[in-house]
Structure 1
C-alpha cells in the first residue's frame, strides 16, 4: 500500500482543545502566562468535553503546564483513561506588560498595539511579550514531535489556549497569523478544533466544536 493510500484509509487526527472557563475570562483580563484556576463551570466544561471526546479514541493527550489547561487536560484524561503529558511549549502567548490587565485598561494605554494584536499582526503582545512569530517558533517543534509519534489512524489531543490554538492551526494549514485570525474566531472555553491529515497536508474538519449543552465564552487566554 502506498503512503497516499494509507493516509486516505487511516488518516491521523488532531484535536486542539481550549481550557475551561476561568474568572479572568469572565473579567476580561489578559491572562497570557498568568497561572489561574478554573471556575466551577470550567471544571464542568472539562468533564463534559472529555465525555464527548471519547468518540475520537485518542491515544495521547498533551497540554500546556499552566493550571487552567493542565486541570482541563487532567479531567479529559480521566474520562478517556489516557495519561496527560504537560509541556510549557503549549502555553498561551506571553502578553508581557498586559498580563493581569483588563481589556479596557489595555485599550486606554496601548490602543493601536491592542488593535494590531487582535488582528494577528506580527508584533509582540504587551510590548515585551510574544508575538505570533515567537509562539510559532516554540510550538512548531512540539507539534512536529507529536505528529511524528502518531501511527496511521491515531488521534491526539492538545489542550492549550485560544491564541496558541489559532497559531497551531495556522502552522498545520500553512497560513500566516493575520489570515488565520481573520478567518477563525477565538475558540470558546472547552471548545475544540478537529484537524485531519490528508494526502496533500492537514485539513480543518471542524472549528469551535463542543460537547452538547456546554456553557462558556470565547474570551482570549
Structure 2
C-alpha cells in the first residue's frame, strides 16, 4: 500500500466516524470541520490530504508551520499549540486561526502582528477543563488554558483588538478525565460566551480518542492527527 492509499483509507475511516457521531448527536455533518494535525509529518502528507479534499490543516509548532504553509498556501492553516508572544508575527503570517489564546499579553502580540500583516486572525480562547475532570486531572494534568471564570475578560480583549476576531473556544480533555463530563463543561462555557458574543460560535474540541464525545457536546472543529497520519515520530 502506498502512502497515498494509506492516507485515503485513514481519511475514509475518520469521515465515517464523524458522520456517525453527527448522526448520533442529531447534528448535520456539515456542522463539523475536520482539522488535520500534521505535527512531525512531511509536507508531502499535507499535499496528499489536500488532494483528498482536506481543506483545514493545523500545526502545533511555529517552526513547522512556517516550513509547510508556503508549500500549501490554498489551505486554511490553524495554529493549535502553545504560542510564545515573540513568535506571533511568524504564526500570523501563515495561519488564519489561532486556537490557543490563553492570556492578555498574547492578545496584544497577536493584534500587533495581525495589523502589521494587514489581515484578520480568528482567535479561540483555550479553556482549561481541569475543573470538569477527575481528581488526578485537577491536581496537575491540566492541558493548558484559562479558567472558565477568566473567559469573559479575555473574550472582551480579543473582541476589542485590532486585526482579531473572537471565534469561540478550544480545549483538550484533561488527562484521566471522562471526556463526556469535560466537553459538557466546555459546552456550558461556550454557551455563556455566545450570550455575550453571538458570533463566537466555534468549539474546537475532540481528538482521535474522544471525537465522538466532543461532537455530542457541540464541537464544530475536531483536531485529528494519529487517526489520519499514524503514530508520530519523536520530535527532534
TM over 0.5: no
Higher relative CO (CA 8 A, sep ≥ 6), structure 1 or 2?
1
More helix per residue: 2
With normalisation by structure 1, the TM-score equals 0.33
With normalisation by structure 2, the TM-score equals 0.31
